[in-house]
């Protein structure tokens, strides 16, 4: 039986399908909830696992291209790019197209729709409009990159003197501007290591704002990457953009490559990556730090850092600061076009389980060691109180966070909701679902913990609390 592919505005008659599911953007208020495909979250997760090897192969090809380092899709990073999710939807749709049950798939995404429409067994309706959306994203991206250029140019002027306060051959932490970092040496990733190692300096990633950089640099040991920019580099940032080759844009996954390029190109992301890489390259050349450690995730900006450091004889230490979920496949060597060459000299994990997992993903065992969970104190114990609220830990991904909040409201139970520290999430509070600024260990009492993709789930288990993992219907709980 065919897979019936439609948009929200082009739904078929109710007797034209047996079951339904909604992919990207599809609205389902007109459909019978009782006919929704069962176990969709589990099926989508299984479909993602089935395409991992293909995403690694595609990612290697994309990352090897000249502008590949300006994007997240080539690094196979599922919490920063949904290309793998789109590939999973495609694999799931192919399976449904071969079943006896006729499934309606509602999809308002113009690129995914066109990719699916060309598959055997798919009965496609009118595709969503594409040209206007592409033009809007292109214009928005140009405006965003221009804004980044202006902003970092001004920040360069303000922070330029910092470069003269940095000596040669020093030991550095390279970190994001985490909200928990403090001026007295505490860091959101490395905890109190700067207090215990007075020789350590801290370099802030280019994602850290001017005000935050100024505040943290008051300690005399913290510096901003923006200090190493140049006016010439800033002027070129509006034109920094990921441009996949024609071969990849017209290949097997061509529509999804175009989608990823268009969506990522609709932001200022490429500009800030190009700026950071340019600043970092000058810092390493001019000051040649002895050793650099950072919260390693094998992102696109990290790979050229490792390659340059190795050429200059600078030791590199990647610290696996968080959990490595089994779907966080960007840590694997298989996605690197140059294999082990862009891996740090040493990779410290938070525990032996993750050491084993990274080894299974191709990280050489002689580069791996257990470093411990620096930013987490000895886990305390908390006795679950059935009368207390459920602690809802929102992930980095906003769409998953929205689905979690909606699900919490539908239960009628009392929840306290903590959003991700790097991606604040707005939602309408109710008398049952309230926001909290306190972390799990700061709560007076909770009855249970629900998480999707953060370290909170592991923390809660260590504290002796009941834990449930939330799996969204349209996304992946990374």
Q: What is the pLDDT of residues 275-313, one digit of tens each?
A: 999 999 999 999 999 999 999 999 999 999 999 999 999
pLDDT given for residue 379 in this prediction:
62
Q: What is the pLDDT of residues 42-78, one digit of tens each?
A: 999 999 999 999 999 999 999 999 999 999 999 999 9
Model-level pTM greater than 0.75? yes
d(CA 9, CA 308): 51
Q: What is the pLDDT of residues 175-213, one digit of tens each?
A: 999 988 999 999 999 999 999 999 999 999 999 999 999
pLDDT given for residue 373 in this prediction:
83
pLDDT given for residue 421 in this prediction:
81
pLDDT given for residue 378 in this prediction:
63
d(CA 66, CA 343): 19
Q: Quick one: pLDDT band at residue 423, thresholds 50, 70, 90?
A: confident
């Amino acid at each position: 039986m065919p897979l019936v592919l439609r948009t929200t505005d082009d739904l078929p008659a109710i007797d034209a399908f047996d079951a339904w599911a909604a992919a990207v953007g599809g609205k389902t208020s007109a459909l019978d909830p009782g006919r929704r495909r069962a176990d969709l979250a589990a099926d989508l997760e299984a479909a993602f696992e089935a395409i991992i090897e293909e995403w690694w192969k595609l990612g290697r090809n994309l990352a090897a291209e000249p502008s590949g380092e300006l994007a997240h899709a080539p690094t196979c990073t599922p919490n920063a790019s949904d290309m793998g999710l789109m590939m999973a939807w495609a694999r799931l749709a192919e399976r449904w197209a071969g079943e006896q049950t006729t499934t309606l798939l509602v999809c308002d995404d113009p690129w995914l729709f066109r990719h699916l429409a060309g598959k055997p067994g798919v009965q496609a309706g009118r595709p969503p409009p594409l040209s206007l959306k592409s033009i809007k994203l292109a214009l928005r991206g140009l405006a965003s990159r221009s804004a980044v250029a202006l902003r970092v140019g001004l920040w360069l002027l303000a922070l330029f003197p910092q470069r003269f306060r940095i000596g040669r051959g020093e030991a550095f932490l390279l970190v994001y501007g985490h909200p928990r970092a403090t001026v007295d040496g505490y860091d959101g990733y490395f905890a109190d290591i700067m207090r215990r190692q007075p020789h350590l300096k801290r370099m802030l990633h280019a994602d850290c704002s001017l005000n935050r950089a100024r505040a943290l640099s008051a300690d005399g040991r913290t510096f901003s990457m923006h200090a190493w920019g140049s006016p010439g580099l800033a002027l070129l940032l509006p034109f920094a953009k990921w441009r996949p080759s024609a071969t990849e844009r017209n290949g097997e996954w061509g529509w999804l490559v175009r989608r990823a390029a268009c969506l990522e190109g609709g932001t200022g992301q490429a500009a800030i990556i190009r700026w950071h890489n340019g600043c970092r390259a000058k810092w390493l050349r001019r000051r040649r730090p002895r050793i650099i450690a950072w919260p390693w995730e094998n992102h696109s900006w990290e790979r050229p850092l490792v390659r340059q450091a190795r050429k200059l004889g600078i030791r590199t230490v990647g610290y696996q600061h968080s959990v490595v979920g089994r779907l966080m496949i960007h840590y694997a060597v298989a996605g690197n076009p140059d294999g082990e060459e862009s891996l740090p000299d040493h990779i410290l994990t938070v525990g032996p389980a993750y050491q084993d997992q990274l080894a299974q993903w191709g990280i050489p065992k002689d580069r791996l060691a257990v470093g411990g969970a620096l930013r987490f104190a000895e886990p305390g114990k908390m006795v679950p109180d059935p009368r207390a609220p459920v602690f809802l830990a929102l992930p980095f991904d906003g769409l998953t966070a929205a689905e979690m909040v909606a699900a919490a409201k539908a239960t009628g139970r009392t929840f306290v909701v903590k959003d991700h520290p790097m991606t604040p999430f707005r939602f309408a509070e109710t008398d049952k679902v309230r926001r909290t600024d306190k972390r799990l260990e700061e709560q007076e009492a909770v009855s249970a913990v629900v998480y999707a993709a953060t370290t909170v789930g592991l923390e809660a288990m260590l504290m002796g609390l009941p834990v449930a993992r939330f799996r969204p219907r349209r996304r992946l709980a990374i």
